[in-house]
Chain A
Amino acid sequence: MPIPAIPTIPLITFPLGGTPTDLDNTIINFGNGNNQSVTATDDINTDIITFGSGNYQSLTAGNSISDDIITGGAGANQSVTGGIIGNDTITFGNSASTLCPPPPAASSATT
């Protein structure tokens, strides 16, 4: 009997290139840098997403963010933005907003 193949889950780390239409069934780890962003023009669904300790980290979908497990990090001003946010489990950490500098010019908005 053949051994079933173990499904491969894409692991996304920074730096990344391009702006995909969808980001589905992925593991997304933000690093500890500031101003990190992940953007999909359409959907971000069924992902495991972890923010790091950097400030101004963001997750953005043009349409829906659904069925994800999203965990915030220690950084401040982290955000999840989508047309629809549904059926997700989102846990943010403690931010240190008083220590946050104003956002500098974005260093990268790539995925």
Chain B
Amino acid sequence: MSAAAGGIVGNDIISFGNGNNDSVTAAGGSVISDIISFGNGKNDSVTAAAGSISGDIITFGTGNGDYVTAGSISGNTIAFGSGSADYVQVGASSHDKITFNDGSNTTPDYVLVSGDISNDTISLGNGKGDYVTAGVAAAVGGSNDTISVGNGAGDTITLTYTGTIPTGEATGGDTITTGTGLDTVTVTAHTNPDTFGFALGTTASSYTMVTGAHTGDQVITASHNLAGTSNSNLHDEGTGTNLTSMYNAVIGAISADKGQTYIGSDGFNTFIVTDVGGTTATVGVIELVGVVFDSVATLRWCGL
């Protein structure tokens, strides 16, 4: 089933059933201010290859491979069901709310933006290898976005130019939260502080790695803002340690470490291990790659 316009698809209410390959297409124009809902078929789509999709409410069902593609999108609410391999692939995105449900462990859901993203709220569910990538073709990545991925290994959030030399600085102010699993966050240089959230239940081998963090950024856990940690519960492990030994030390004294946060480095990267509740499930681990915050005072100033 399809609704296709060479120019504009606007102010429509469009509802599809459960068939596969249902589509709304504005081949040479834009999709504007519509309410579009799909059933549970696979490979359903809304596309405006040469134009924009803006102000729409788009809801997909549980089929796999549903997608939105456009030159740019703005002000949309886009919700995917629990299918896998769903995606949004656009030139730029701003003020969009994009929500994925849980996917599979074999084919990821993703958001791929060749330009910049700003003021978006993007949430990916559980599933392996899900990713958000922006700034592929530009020097800057994100500004004032809220991005979260669920549990599952190999999730990545990349808000930076993927070429060899970034040539600009992003506005920043992004909040990026990861689930359990070995996840990777990469941001380019940014003016306003970013916030990096990591999950409890992470370990020395399954944790969040953040590249691009710098002074002024904040680190939080999903359920516990470390900014409220008092000096007495914040421990500087110095620059001669590593993530595994810090994690093992916390696990080895799990009952005594409730409420404690440890910060250390190997001279190249900074490691943070926190124990919110006194059990292995309440221990969280994050690594800030390529930066060394050499004192507790510095880290607290950075939001810890």
The answer to whether A and B come from one shared complex is: yes
A residues engaging B (CB < 8 A)?
65, 72, 76-98
Who on chain B is nearest to A97 by CB? B20
- Asked whether B10 lies within 8 Å of A95 as measured between CB atoms, the reply is no
What CA separation (Å) do A82 and B9 show in the bound complex?
9
- Asked whether B12 lies within 8 Å of A77 as measured between CB atoms, the reply is no
What CA separation (Å) do A71 and B14 show in the bound complex?
10
27 contacts between A and B (CB under 8 A): A77-B2, A79-B1, A80-B3, A83-B7, A84-B5, A84-B7, A84-B8, A84-B9, A85-B3, A85-B10, A87-B10, A87-B11, A87-B12, A92-B14, A92-B16, A92-B17, A92-B19, A93-B1, A93-B17, A93-B19, A94-B17, A94-B19, A95-B19, A95-B20, A97-B19, A97-B41, A98-B20
Contacts of B10 in A (CB 8 A): 84-87
Who on chain A is nearest to B32 by CB? A86
- Asked whether B13 lies within 8 Å of A90 as measured between CB atoms, the reply is yes
Candidates A79, A83, A86, A94; contact of B18 at CB < 8 Å = A94
Contacts of B5 in A (CB 8 A): 65, 81-85
What CA separation (Å) do A105 and B11 show in the bound complex?
35
Additional pairs, 19, CB under 8 Å, beyond known A87-B10, A92-B17, A94-B17: A65-B5, A76-B1, A78-B1, A78-B2, A79-B2, A81-B3, A81-B4, A84-B9, A85-B5, A85-B10, A87-B11, A87-B12, A92-B14, A92-B15, A93-B1, A93-B19, A94-B19, A95-B18, A97-B41
